Amino acid sequence: MEKFIKSFMKSITCCDLETGDFPGPVVTISRQSGCSAQRIAIKLSKILTGYSYMSDTKTDAEWKWVDKDIFEEVVEGMVESVRTGGYDDTDEAVKMLKQVARAFSNETIYDISDTRLIETFRGVVCRLACKGRTIIVGRSAGVILKNVPNKLNVRLEAPMEWRINRIMQLKDVSQAEAVEFVKEMDDKRDSFIEKVIGRKANNDDFDIIFNYASLQDDEIIDAIVSILKNKKIIAHYE
């Protein structure tokens, strides 16, 4: 099994941080409980797809967003690559990838503690990023890809009281239930990040942090597109 992990990790981490050879670009969106990253990711993917076509290069390239709902489908493609990759322990490797996919696709991701699964999970996130033109929602992608060039790590935050009130409205629950939900999800996400990178996340892990309580989705998206242009992560157009 160790042979698979080392070999697979080497093959999927197709970026060279020394030379800056990284296919990208990639956007990650991290969020506190109560902040809706999925809506932003969906709209941003459509805008960036159109922007690629209008750029100087006239690149007809689709941006895709990836979250827990379609992660399992993405991993299935990787499973096929493993099956044809000539690994001695293919069956066990496929089993591990499928386990990571199932965990990623629901809240059990936060219960992962096996170091081999965590390492494989990190590799899958790197593979998604290396595909380029990808928006990854949650799942600690921002901290995993912190040192990767050609990326933008976005964080959505909001005051606790605002998030509690929003969860009360979205889930139609009492204030006490909303408080418990917000705190539980924040704790689970913080704990998972520690498992993945060995420490708590901090502001330095993100390129920009938005106050979701005071901004509209379109304002956040406009700012992200502007930053991507200024950092030359996406091409300019006249």
Question: Any idea what the CATH number is for the domain that residue 215 is in?
Answer: 3.40.50.300
Residue 132 within a domain? yes
Sorted by sequence, the CB contacts under 8 Å of residue 149 that are 6+ apart come out as 17, 20, 22, 24
* Termini Cα distance of the chain: 52
**pLDDT tens for each residue of 155-180:** 999 999 999 999 999 999 999 999 99
Instruction: Give pLDDT, residue 148.
Output: 81
**pLDDT tens for each residue of 65-83:** 886 666 777 777 778 777 7
Residue 41 within a domain? yes
Residue 187 within a domain? yes
- How many domains, in total, are found in the chain? 1
Residue 235 within a domain? no
Q: Which ranges of the chain would DSSP assign to H, the alpha helix?
A: 2-12, 37-54, 68-83, 90-104, 115-131, 141-144, 160-171, 175-197, 217-230
Residue 158 within a domain? yes
Record the pTM.
Answer: 0.82
**pLDDT tens for each residue of 81-127:** 777 766 667 787 788 788 777 776 666 677 777 788 888 888 788 87
Residue 237 within a domain? no
Q: Which domain holds residue 207?
A: 2-230
